[in-house]
Amino acid sequence: MKSVKKLFVPTIYLIAILSVIGCILLTIMSINKYLTESEKFNYSINGLIDNEVKSVQGEDNTINNVNVIKPFRDEKVTVGRGFYDFEGEQTNQEKSIIFYENTYMQNSGVDYVSDEVFDVISVLAGKVISVDNDDVLGNIVKIEHDKNIITTYQGIDKVALKVGDVISQGTVVGVSGKSLVNSNYTTSLHFEVNYKGELIDPEKFYSLNVNELWVTKVAFLCRKCKKRLVFYW
């Protein structure tokens, strides 16, 4: 009887250890599967879309099958300062730095500039959730859209909207203006896009179909290719 007990206890431990090892191997195999199939994903839009995703029409067709437009129509408007991409090239990062009162800051959006005042418009249909004024940043309007998207229009003048307004795509938000942060420009608009709580490059956001936006984000560090791989589904 004692010999049976001595044999039974080690066997239980051995089964437990093998179970743990099996779970680890399955996890590694699952990750490797994602990594080896990473070429199927499109990274040209910072991992936000998959080219094979199709638009789906439904009863909640608020902004379905609608492409995102730029926050202006004037063709004379250009990019004065781009979005600071932490994974971008160093030369582009240097051009996306804001210097104000002896402080360097990464640009969280895109600064659009012109020699003439231009209309600022909503990139999508949505609802105005805030209208504020800041001594340094100027007037700030935030609009909430479907698909967990929030857009910010900063440093503008002649604000034409108020909190609670439900607007359509292309509605005039105001006109370009000046702020202390962008005082070196004749007239400008600081524009930001927040998708599911994460700031993204607006320049890579335009012309997307809103139904092509991913819902879930998972990031892996590929030791072999020495890159950070981000998957959305």
Reduced to 3 states, what is the DSSP secondary structure of residue 185?
Answer: coil
- Whether 230 maps to a domain, the answer reads no
19 and 103, same domain (yes or no): no
What pLDDT, on the 0 to 100 scale, is given for residue 102?
A: 84
In this structure, what DSSP letter does residue 180 have? Answer: S
Query: Same domain, yes or no, for 31 and 84?
Result: no
Residue 48 lies in a domain: no
CA distance 192 to 154: 8
The pLDDT of residue 225: 52
In a domain? residue 83: yes
Let me know whether 90 and 151 are in one domain: yes
Q: Does 101 lie in the same domain as 15?
A: no
Q: Are residues 82 and 167 in the same domain?
A: yes
CATH of the domain at 112: 2.70.70.10
pLDDT at residue 50, as a whole number = 32
- Could you tell me the residue range of the domain that residue 125 belongs to? 78-208
Q: What pLDDT score does 20 carry?
A: 66
CA dist 209 and 69 (Å) reads 10
User: Mean pLDDT by 10-residue block, N- to C-terminus, for the chain (233 residues)?
Assistant: 52 68 62 46 35 31 69 95 88 87 90 97 96 95 94 97 96 96 93 92 84 53 51 45
Q: What is the phi/psi pair of residue 219, to 5°?
A: -115, 140
CA atoms of 213 and 220, how far apart (whole Å): 20
**Cα gap 25→148, rounded to integer Å:** 36
Q: Are 188 and 109 in contact (CB under 8 A)?
A: no
The two structure tokens encoding residue 231 = 């998957």
C-alpha span between 145 and 166 (Å, rounded): 10
* 177 vs 111: CA distance, rounded Å: 11
First to last CA, the chain: 56
Residue length of the chain: 233
